[in-house]
Structure 1
Amino acid sequence: MNTRYLEEFLVIAEELNFSVAAKRLYTTRPTLSEHLTELEDELSCKLVERGHGKPALTPPGRRFLNTASELLAQWDDIVSEYRNLADNLLTVTVSATNLPWLEAPLLRARHRIAEKWPEGKIDIVTDNGPLATVDALGERRNDIVVVGCKSFSEAGRRLLTEEHPGFVLNTETTHLFMSEDNPLFEREPLITADLDGAVLLLPPDVYQSYERDKVTDRFEANGARVALKTMPFRDHSEYFAHDFGCAIGVAPGTLVPRFGLDRRPGLRLFDLDDMDFSTDFIAVFRDEFVESPHGRVLFDEMKAAVAQGEPGA
Structure 2
Amino acid sequence: MELRHLKYFLAVAEELNFTKAAEKLFISQPPLSRQIIELENEIKAKLFIRNNKKVELTEAGKYFNQEVIALFKNLEQISLKTKKIADNVSGEFTIAYISSIYSSVISKLIQHLKEQFPYVNFKLFEISTTKQIDALEQGKIDLGIIRSPVKSPKIKSQLWFKDGFSVVYNKELIQINTEEEIPNLKDETFVFFNKDYAPHYHEVLLELCAYYGFKPKVVHESNNINSIVQLVKNGLGISIVPSNIAKNNRDLEIGFIELKKVQLFTDVSLITSKEDDSEITKSAVDFLLRFSEK
- TM-score, structure 1 length as denominator? 0.49
Mark the runs of 5 or more structure 2 residues left unpaired by the alignment. 1-84
> Which residue does the alignment assign to 1:126?
124
Letter aligned with residue 291 of structure 1? E
Structure 2 residue 171 is the aligned partner of structure 1 residue 168: no
> Which residue does the alignment assign to 1:280?
267
- Partner deviation per Cα, 1:23-48 (whole Å, 9 max, x = no partner): xxxxxxxxxxxxxxxxxxxxxxxxxx
- Partner deviation per Cα, 1:148-202 (whole Å, 9 max, x = no partner): 35xxxxxx4xx268773221112233321112465x5246453553333555423
> Which residue does the alignment assign to 2:11?
none
Contact 1:172 1:280 survives alignment (8 Å):
yes
Count of residue pairs brought into register by the alignment: 203
Q: Secondary structure at the match of 1:256?
A: helix
Q: Distance in 1 between matches of 2:237 and 2:104?
A: 26
Q: How does 1:6-21 map to 2 (within 5 A)?
A: none
Contact 2:205 2:240 survives alignment (8 Å):
no
Q: Secondary structure at the match of 2:259?
A: coil
Q: Please say which structure displays the higher CA radius of gyration.
A: 1
> Which residue does the alignment assign to 2:275?
291
Structure 2 residue 157 is the aligned partner of structure 1 residue 196: no
Structure 2 residue 168 is the aligned partner of structure 1 residue 177: yes
Identity %: 6
Contact 1:198 1:227 survives alignment (8 Å):
yes
Contact 2:243 2:258 survives alignment (8 Å):
no
Q: How does 1:1-313 map to 2 (within 5 A)?
A: 88=89, 89-95=91-97, 97=99, 99-100=102-103, 103=106, 106-107=109-110, 110=113, 114=116, 121-127=119-125, 130-139=126-135, 142-148=141-147, 156=149, 159=150, 164-180=155-171, 182=173, 184-186=174-176, 188-203=178-193, 207-211=198-202, 214-227=204-217, 231-232=221-222, 236=226, 238-242=227-231, 243=233, 245=235, 247-256=237-246, 258-261=248-251, 264-265=252-253, 267-272=254-259, 274-285=261-272, 287=273, 290-294=274-278, 297-307=279-289, 309=290
Q: Distance in 1 between matches of 2:184 and 2:285?
A: 40
- TM-score, structure 2 length as denominator? 0.51
Mark the runs of 5 or more structure 1 residues left unpaired by the alignment. 1-83, 150-155
Letter aligned with residue 145 of structure 1? G
Q: Distance in 1 between matches of 2:141 and 2:86?
A: 21
Q: CA deviation at 1:244?
A: 5.2
Report the RMSD for the aligned CA atoms in angstroms.
4.2
Distance 1:258 1:85, change over 3 A: same
Q: Distance in 2 between matches of 1:162 and 1:250?
A: 33
Distance 1:135 1:181, change over 3 A: same
Q: Distance in 2 between matches of 1:252 and 1:121?
A: 36
Letter aligned with residue 129 of structure 2? T
Contact 1:199 1:248 survives alignment (8 Å):
yes
- Partner deviation per Cα, 1:37-69 (whole Å, 9 max, x = no partner): xxxxxxxxxxxxxxxxxxxxxxxxxxxxxxxxx
Q: Distance in 1 between matches of 2:177 and 2:212?
A: 18
Query: Structure 1 runs of 4+ off > 6 angstroms?
Result: 160-163
Letter aligned with residue 138 of structure 1? D
Q: CA deviation at 1:103?
A: 1.0
Letter aligned with residue 167 of structure 2? L
Q: Distance in 1 between matches of 2:293 and 2:187?
A: 40
> Which residue does the alignment assign to 1:77?
none
Distance 1:186 1:255, change over 3 A: closer
